[in-house]
């Protein structure tokens, strides 16, 4: 394809019957009303701006119907479309994209998302309307594909040319991740909602890519680990400030893992006087007092922590090397710094009993956390866990579209039924959030009308999606 600024590049998050999160190779469905930015498309917007004019349609955030979305795509008449897909939405996405391709036969269509890491060239064989698939949005391999003049092998790209497939292997890396500043102005910032935001609008950012830990159930652990240069991060934050953004969701998988660099980043944020408030993700075993104090000073009000299970043996089996015996004290340390804590919990690891699932739910209620996210264990695409589960014959591979936050589990040969596991998850949610002491505590921490409305709306939606079962 000719490299020219007349190229019209559409970054597309397709419409869907549910509020699908398709980004960062980790599919899920919104459990309430929240919806944050498709991070793959955000950073591709900066990368691909070198190649042409960037347009963005996020049909989920904008609540577009399929017909409305098709009409918008046709009006733009792009010659390149990069779209997200995911395990739970794959069938819907392929039907939609095939319809678009029939109308825009000249358009190159590039797919990216978790399913393609497992499907690989089969995705192109099964869907002849696709031109290419991309395995790594942090790299510049997509530019190599678009600018190529010969049929060369390109890492992280499988593409169709002259009736044959050119197959590049998935390849990530470590070290530095340099990416042009995203074209945030192309995203409708007011269309996104975040349950922990204290102000609006907010933006989702990455200061690194991947994760240095090896938890076998997490797809991000398979992406290598790369740090963005701090000046690049600050440049992006300055742009967001100009656009009126007040709140950040820092989606680094383990914020603070490189302590020296994190201190430098927080110092730069503070010295730039940008005055963002933010939520971040981290682990109990990387946070220390000096870092927490500086995070609070730089605007951090909430940390989301992967606690996962009350069973340390289960955690270590799946390479989550934290000590549950130290979790309570670590969370108290975070709270002492004036930062709220949300915990992620996983229910139904292979071999678990009803008692062990209930023990994790009870553990969550005992911890001094402000929020809890309960998820049914799922063999996510691109993970060692999924590969092992298939080899062991303990998942229904015919129902791979299931994901952990809303759908029924798909396990075989468990010690109790999938229906029972789903009921235990619903019970865990309701018992955590409907405690009178918890409700009173949450109300007393509200400081603004925006926080109260956010709390009410998200709480109502969460309980509706977790209706009491018989």
* Ranges of each domain in the chain: 8-174, 194-465
Q: What is the mean pLDDT of the chain?
A: 91
- pLDDT tens figures, 236-295: 999 999 999 999 999 999 999 999 999 999 999 999 999 999 999 999 999 999 999 999
Residue 1 has pLDDT above 80, yes or no: no
- pLDDT-derived band at 136, boundaries 50, 70, 90: very high
pTM: 0.91
**Cβ-based neighbours of 329, under 8 Å, separated by 6 or more:** none
Region 291-315: what's the mean pLDDT?
A: 95
| 411, 348 Cβ separation under 8 angstroms | yes
Distance of CA 37 to the CA centre of its chain: 9
Structure token pair of residue 452: 């109260």
Distance of CA 366 to the CA centre of its chain: 27
SS3 157: strand
Instruction: Mark residue 348 as left, alpha or beta (left: phi above 0; alpha: psi -120 to 50; beta: remaining).
Output: left
- pLDDT tens figures, 345-359: 999 999 899 999 999
Residue 399 has pLDDT above 70, yes or no: no
- pLDDT-derived band at 3, boundaries 50, 70, 90: very low
Pick the range with the lowest mean pLDDT from 59-63, 304-308, 418-422: 418-422
Residue 469 has pLDDT above 90, yes or no: no
| 406, 399 Cβ separation under 8 angstroms | no
CATH architecture, range 194-465:
Alpha-Beta Barrel (3.20)
Structure token pair of residue 139: 């790299």
Q: Count of alpha carbons within 13 Å of 398, Cβ hemisphere only?
A: 1
Same topology between domain 8-174 and domain 194-465:
no
CATH architecture, range 8-174:
3-Layer(aba) Sandwich (3.40)
How much is the pLDDT for 468?
62
How much is the pLDDT for 430?
92
Residue 397 has pLDDT above 80, yes or no: no
How much is the pLDDT for 2?
46
Find the distance separating the first CA and the last CA of the chain, reported in whole Å.
58
| Percent of the chain at pLDDT exceeding 90 | 79
| 18, 48 Cβ separation under 8 angstroms | no
Residue 405 has pLDDT above 70, yes or no: no
- pLDDT tens figures, 207-238: 999 999 999 999 999 999 999 999 999 999 99
């Amino acid at each position: 394809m000719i490299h020219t600024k007349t190229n019209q590049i559409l970054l597309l998050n397709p419409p869907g019957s549910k509020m699908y999160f398709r980004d960062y190779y980790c599919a899920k469905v919104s459990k309430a009303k929240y919806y944050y930015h498709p991070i793959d498309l955000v950073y591709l917007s900066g990368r691909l701006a070198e190649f042409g004019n960037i347009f963005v349609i996020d049909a989920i955030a904008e609540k577009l119907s399929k017909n409305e979305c098709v009409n918008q795509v046709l009006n733009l008449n792009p010659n390149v479309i990069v779209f997200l897909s995911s395990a739970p939405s794959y069938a819907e996405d392929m039907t939609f994209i095939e319809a678009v391709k029939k109308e825009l036969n000249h358009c190159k269509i590039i797919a990216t998302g978790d399913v393609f890491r497992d499907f690989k060239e089969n995705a192109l064989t099964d869907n002849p309307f696709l031109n290419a698939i991309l395995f790594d949005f942090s790299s510049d391999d997509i530019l190599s594909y678009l600018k190529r003049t010969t049929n060369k092998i390109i890492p992280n790209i499988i593409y169709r040319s002259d009736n044959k497939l050119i197959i590049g292997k998935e390849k990530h890396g470590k070290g530095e991740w340099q990416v042009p500043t995203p074209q945030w102005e192309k995203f409708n910032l007011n269309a996104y909602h975040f349950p922990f935001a204290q102000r609006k609008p907010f933006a989702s950012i990455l200061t690194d890519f991947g994760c240095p830990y090896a938890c076998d159930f997490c797809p991000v652990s398979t992406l290598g680990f790369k740090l963005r240069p701090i000046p690049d991060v600050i440049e992006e934050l300055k742009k967001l400030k100009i656009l009126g953004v007040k709140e950040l969701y820092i989606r680094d998988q383990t914020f603070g893992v490189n302590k020296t660099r994190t201190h430098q980043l927080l110092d730069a944020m503070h010295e730039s006087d940008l005055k963002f408030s933010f939520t971040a993700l981290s682990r109990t075993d990387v946070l220390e007092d000096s870092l927490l104090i500086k995070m609070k000073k730089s605007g951090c009000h909430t940390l989301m922590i992967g606690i996962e299970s009350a069973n340390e043996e289960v955690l270590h089996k799946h390479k989550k090397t934290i000590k549950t015996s130290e979790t309570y004290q670590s969370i108290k340390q975070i709270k002492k710094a004036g930062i709220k804590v949300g915990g992620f919990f996983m229910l139904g690891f292979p071999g678990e009993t009803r008692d062990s699932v209930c023990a994790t739910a009870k553990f969550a209620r005992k911890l001094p956390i402000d929020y809890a996210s309960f998820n049914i264990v799922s063999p996510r695409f691109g993970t060692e866990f999924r590969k092992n589960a298939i080899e062991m014959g303990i998942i229904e591979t015919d129902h791979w579209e299931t994901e952990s936050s809303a759908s029924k589990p798909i396990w075989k040969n468990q010690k109790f039924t999938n229906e029972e596991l789903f009921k235990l998850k619903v019970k865990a949610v309701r018992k955590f959030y409907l405690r009178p002491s918890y409700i009173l505590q949450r109300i007393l921490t509200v400081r603004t009308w925006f926080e109260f409305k956010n709390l009410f709306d998200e709480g109502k939606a969460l309980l509706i999606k977790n209706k009491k079962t018989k």
